[in-house]
Homo-oligomer: A and B are copies of this chain.
């Protein structure tokens, strides 16, 4: 469905909230849900108002190509469903903000599963079927939108996401970018929620069959998933291949570490090292820390593993570990959600392009 014909009835009249100049849509397309926010477009501002007015917000199901996890392989039936989800969530956000398709200046979609230019092009192609050519469209990895949510849209520094999966993604001032991790469980994302919980389940099996030390994790995890013996874990893991189901056991691991269980503590310490290493690899490749290694740069921290706010604080430990090597690392816990980050990113891209046009 194309919305081009609605453009004939353009209405950019001022209505007091800034939407008179049109709107920007920011979308966070994750593996479990899709969030779309609609913010006003401020064409002449150098800085945005704080707090940023959110004109409308809508939530829908998964708009990712693959319901299990990050993938670059798009199967067409799934893509159609993802397109429909995306179109619906944008329509709802626009409707809630009292706007319509014709007022949209720019759209930025941060989506997991965008690892290659070909992924980007494919999604841009079907966004272009919805929006006419003057609407600016940006498609990036969801990590980029997460970074923008902590830097108010500026692409500089590094973001670390650790939820079910994990990824580190960074940008230098000159536009160079780099990533580390984010390759999924087969390829060893051990600092992710899935990685932490899978190691804990392994520790329970090892304690049971005599390969490893006894651990509180056994009772804690079996109780959490209503099993009576470690042997039943084999069936439990095969019954449902969802990574999120396994990652949901992270709080049990944290509880055991807080109770000084050595096995659980080692799992968390290793995860902290792995997560910090992902950030350090990006920082080094982009020289974010300057020539003397002491330069200041933001590290945006996102995701359930980093935001748990527990006594054994994984996020806090990761920050310490990064700062041991790079004292200029400045942690940021975003005050806005990734969908707003995507919208801010779009605004920043628009501003940059208009500045470039002025100078040319």
Residues of A within 8 A of B (CB): 66, 68-73, 115-116, 178-184, 186-188, 198-199, 201-202, 205-206, 209-211, 231, 233-235, 237-239, 241, 246, 277-278, 281-282, 284-285
Contact = CB atoms under 8 A, between A and B. Distances in A.
A241 B201 CA distance: 21
Given A210-B180, A211-B278, A281-B210, A205 B188 contact: yes
Contacts of A71: 234-235, 238-239
B210 A187 contact: no
B246 A186 contact: yes
17 contacts: A69-B238, A70-B234, A71-B239, A72-B235, A73-B238, A115-B231, A115-B235, A116-B231, A178-B209, A179-B209, A183-B234, A184-B238, A209-B281, A210-B281, A210-B284, A211-B277, A211-B278
Copies in the complex: 2
A199 B188 CA distance: 7
Contacts of A201: 186-188
Contacts of A181: 209, 211
A241 B199 CA distance: 20
Nearest to A115: B234
